[in-house]
Amino acid sequence: MKSLLFKRALQDILNNRFLNTVTVITIALSVLIVSSFALFFTNANELLDTWKKGIRALVYLNPETTDANRLDLKYNIQKLNGVSEARFISRKEALAQMKVQMGRQSSLLESLKPNPLPDAFEVRLSPDSQTMAAIEKLSKAIELLPHVDEVEYGRQWIGKFTNIINMLRFVGYAMGGLFLVATLFIVANTVRLLLYSRQEEIAIMRLVGTTDRFIKMPFYIQGVILGALGGIIGMSGLYFAFWFVSEKFHRGLSAELLDIHFLPLDVTAGIIVGSMIIGWIGCYLSLKQFLKA
Amino acid sequence: MKCHDDALIRLFHVYKRYGAKNALFDISLDIFKNEFLFLTGPSGAGKSTLLKLLYLGESLSEGQILIDRMNLARVSRKRAPELRRKLGIIFQDYKLIPTKTVYENVSLVLEARGMSHKFIQKKVHSVLRTVGMEKRKKSFPPGLSGGEQQKVAVARAVVGEPKIILADEPTGSLDADSAGTIFDLLTNIHARGATVLVATHDAELIRSAKGRVIQLKEGKVVAE
Ligand SMILES: Nc1ncnc2c1ncn2[C@@H]1O[C@H](COP(=O)(O)OP(=O)(O)OP(=O)(O)O)[C@@H](O)[C@H]1O
Ligand SMILES: [Mg+2]
């Protein structure tokens, strides 16, 4: 009985090939667009996370700081909430690092005598407080400690990047909502057209005692099948596009720099299920209106 | 005279108006369980209209109709399927679904009642055999003659073994032989306990049966 219903729904879809194809393509396009936003955000978030892992603050010391003061300060910093480690970087070490970083131009530094760099602590955060808010708060706290000249951290650009992502996320939600409504509308319209084309049949079925539930069932099955097809095709399209782009990327840039992934399996499945649910709701809207009459 | 409570179908001062026209005028009628009843009268007398009121195909303008304790004047449309499942209806214009095969048209009734696939297959074939349409089970109604369509309509009405049969000109398009077959089928169902209501102006049919005859004219009962 169940498989019979399914077979009939497929038959119905084939009987209205044009209408159903258009509907499936529309659903697929919506799914493609919405899921490409999802793909972008998951990768952007991952990227942001790896960058945030490198979050550290540099605490520059007052030139008059004695060795004893320094030990006190180190103790005081490590006592603070969210600090995992405070490593001392002497001015000598800092200069040596700088020379390595500058490579051939390091000869410029030779003329700098005395060494202009201050002593510093490199403060790393414990994993659970690697957020912009945490590091900002921490920096303020460290600035208040004695012998601290200045605290520096990579706030500016990570903060900006986060803001851009958040703004895009908003656009993504808005677009997602818009496509959701549009898809719903299109599915509902398809079902309405199917209903009109079968008006006589439905009227007769009612006369011989079938319940509305029985009449609705094939439409729901059809709606869910359309949703599933649209979802699967949309996600396949996205996968293909992703594969194509990442191939190019990997050839051009080093793989480690931009390590992008496709959506996880559960999200992919979730999007397809969501598209089936849209098919169902689209049916629901049309049937509710139609069968009242 | 039987007691009123025995009536399976009760019409109490029933009116049906289409605009200013009275299609039915003050009809009161009790139909008892397992009765075989003929509704007769000239064209436009209101026979079909009366049957339509009984299956909620139309709503009545005034009065009360009780079928199996269901008050049709008050019942919500939601309960129409419940009522219609007690009825086997043969429509004057057959009302077969043109896009479904003969087999599907008949099996639909049982599918809607949630019967098993096997049972449906057996039952539908047996009924189609009885009305002589088994060979055409894969045909679509528009490809059938009027008489053949009528046989399918009869098969669909009886396949669910309903308590009540409402037949509107069930032999209207049939030759004498086929009409005889259909009539035997209705008699058979009646013998198994069903209440049968036949609207017809086929005098031959009425004469050959022993049922009660109600004569309508211009929406009124003129003879019983
Ligand atoms: N939907 C309608 N709108 C307006 N008038 C209608 C409608 N249905 C029936 N009538 C009128 O009601 C009257 C009774 O019609 P009905 O179909 O019940 O007659 P009948 O006895 O079944 O006739 P026949 O023997 O030709 O089938 C007719 O005069 C008809 O014109
Ligand atoms: Mg009639």
Give, as one character, the DSSP assignment of residue A130: -
**How many angstroms does the Cα of residue B92 sit away from the middle of ligand 2?**
6
Task: Quote the DSSP letter at residue A105.
Answer: G
pLDDT higher than 60, residue B4: no
Q: Which of A138, A153, A168 finishes a domain? A: A153
- Write the DSSP string, B18-79: ETTEEEEEEEEEEEETT-EEEEE-STTSSHHHHHHHHTTSS--SEEEEEETTEETTT--GGG
Please give the pLDDT value at position B2: 47
Domain termination residue (choose one: A105, A122, A153)? A153
Give domain status of residue B143, yes or no.
Answer: yes
- For chain B, what is the radius of gyration of the CA atoms? 17
A208 closest CB neighbour out of B84, B99, B116 = B84
Query: Quick one: pLDDT at residue B209?
Result: 78
Per-residue pLDDT of chain A (293 residues; tens, 9 = 90+): 567 778 878 888 888 888 889 889 999 999 998 898 888 888 887 777 766 666 778 888 888 888 888 888 888 888 888 888 888 888 888 888 777 766 666 666 666 667 778 888 888 877 777 677 777 788 888 888 888 888 887 656 667 777 788 888 888 888 888 888 988 998 898 889 888 888 899 999 999 999 888 889 889 999 999 999 999 999 999 999 988 888 776 665 544 455 678 888 899 999 999 999 999 999 999 998 887 75
Burial of A30 (C-beta count, 10 Å sphere; 0-12/13-18/19+): buried
Taking CA atoms only, the protein residue closest to ligand 1 atom 30 is B44
Tokens of A105: 């131009």
> CB of A201 within 8 Å of any CB in chain B?
yes
Q: What is the CATH number of the domain that holds A74?
A: 3.30.70.3040
Q: Which residues of A touch B116 (CB under 8 A)?
A: 1
Atom of ligand 1 nearest to the CA of B169: 27
Report yes or no: A213 at the B interface, CB cutoff 8 Å.
Answer: no
Residue type, A76: N
Residues A38 and A164 in one domain: yes
CA B41 – ligand 2 centroid, Å: 10
* Residue A221 and residue A146 in one domain: no
**Mean pLDDT, range B88-111, rounded to an integer:** 93
Residues 6+ apart with CB under 8 A from A48: A158, A161, A162, A165
What is the number of domains present in chain B?
1
- Give A30-45 pLDDT, tens digit per residue: 999 889 888 888 888 7
* B72: in domain: no
Alpha carbon of B177 to ligand 1 centroid (Å): 29
Let me know whether A180 and A259 are in one domain. Answer: yes
| Same structural domain, A183 and A272 | yes
Question: In this predicted structure, what is the pLDDT of residue A5?
Answer: 75
* Rounded CA separation B177/A271 (Å): 63
Mutation pick from A208, A211, A288 vs chain B, by most beta carbons of B within 10 Å, is A208
The enclosing H or E element of A92 equals: helix A91-102
pLDDT tens per residue, range B120-167: 999 999 999 998 899 999 999 999 988 899 999 999 999 999 999 999
The counts of H helices and E strands in chain B are 7, 10
Q: Using alpha carbons, list the distances in angstroms from residue A111 to A97, A118, B184.
A: 16, 17, 122
**Domain contains B12:** no
Total count of domains within chain A: 2
Nearest CA to ligand 1 atom 22: B48
For B96, name the nearest residue in chain A, comparing CA atoms only.
Answer: A204
Predicted confidence at residue A250, as pLDDT, reads 66
